[in-house]
Structure 1
Amino acid sequence: MKTRILSFLLCTASVTLMAQNPEKEQINLLLDAWHEAAANADFDTYFEKMTEDGVFIGTDATENWQNEAFRTFSKPYFDRGKAWSFTAVERNIYVGNNEDFAWFDELLDTQMKICRGSGVLKKVDGQWKIAHYVLSIAVPNDNVAELIEIKKEKDSLLLLQLRKQ
């Protein structure tokens, strides 16, 4: 009985908090719908939720996608009927004082296991849009040395290339 009462109070508090900040609720719904559009391979809906100059930073060091390049890269995945499937399991949203920009971070359940997404949103014609999104693979601290070993060779080559630019 105590568990049910506690669950009810937590749900009520959560709904009340969201109702007190409609901007955060709109952003939360936008991000969920954006992820859902990718899972459903809904290309148009997915990209409508980003700004025209939106940026997507992927997990690979070379993935710094400006909107048009990201569309081109993503299109074949969407055309196959399923792009990627990310489900937020935790999300923090912060809204600027003028309520025209916001930023967030989220933990995601993905095909790559737990990932972290973070980004910046801005209002465009009264609607929230994703202006910048960063996806990263969450690596347990105990496994960092192992990961460094795996990526050492490719990272060294990429660093040499980047330093020449």
Structure 2
Amino acid sequence: MNKGSKMQRTLFSLVLPLIICCQNTSPDQAVTGVLNNLHLYAAEARGPEYFDLFADDAIFFGTDIGERWEKNAFQEYGLARFETGQGWTYHMTERNIYFSDDDQTCWFDELIRNDKYGQLRGTGVLKLVDQEWKIMQYNLVLPMPNDLLPKYAQEIKEFYKEE
């Protein structure tokens, strides 16, 4: 056997496990990647990639009570904003992911930080669609300390009463 073919076999035996390892991404790793990309693409105003993470029938809930966005409407709003070069930046600080018994659906909660608004919470559901994890629902929430709730709840009630 010549040195070239022995070297090729050795190289192949070293590279093959890496290829197999990289292709066998666990569901947890795959979902983590989708959620990490969600925040990355939003921060970089990468509209097409951002909205491709959502299922066609996805729903996005914003912090305002009136923000229940079906994907098409959310995409129209988001793409217009992203085209200006402005996205929105949230940094994940904590995340929990849970899977259905058949590993076809998962739900998560995460704490995310924004420079302007501070700590927020994102929750949602992803579903495996044609071997890709797609966001079915994302809910952005501004958590409030219980001691502040009476004061701000009253202000919010008055705000919506005026509309």
TM-score above 0.5: yes
TM-score, structure 2 normalization: 0.80
Q: Are residue 129 (structure 1) and residue 134 (structure 2) matched?
A: yes
- Measured against aligned partners, the alpha-carbon deviations of 1:101-124 in whole angstroms (never above 9, x if no partner) come to 100000110131110000000011
TM-score of the aligned structures, taking structure 1 as reference length? 0.79
Matched, 1:29 2:33: yes
The answer on 1:139 being equivalent to 2:157 is no
Larger CA Rg, structure 1 vs 2: 2
Give the root-mean-square deviation of aligned CA atoms: 1.4
Residue of 153, 157, 160 corresponding to 1:155:
160
Q: How far off its partner does 1:157 sit?
A: 5.0
The whole-number CA distance in structure 2 between the counterparts of 1:153 and 1:83 is 31
Structure 2 CA distance for aligned equivalents of residues 90 and 137 of structure 1? 15
- Paired residue for 1:120, among 121, 125, 148? 125
Secondary structure at the counterpart of residue 113 of structure 2: strand
1:19-45 deviations in Å (ceiling 9; x for gaps) = xx8111111111001110000000011
Match of 1:51 among 51, 55, 58: 55
Moved beyond 3 Å, runs of 4+: none
Aligned partner (choices 73, 87, 91) of residue 91 of structure 2: 87
Q: Which amino acid aligns with 1:135?
A: L
Q: Which residue of 2 aligns with 1:6?
A: none
| Structure 1 unaligned regions, length at least 5 | 1-20, 159-165
Residue 5 (structure 1) aligns with: none
Equivalent in the alignment of 1:8? none
Provide the rounded CA distance (Å) in 1 between the counterparts of 2:151 and 2:82. Answer: 33
Cα distance in 2 for partners of 1:75, 1:64 equals 17
Shift of 1:63: 0.4
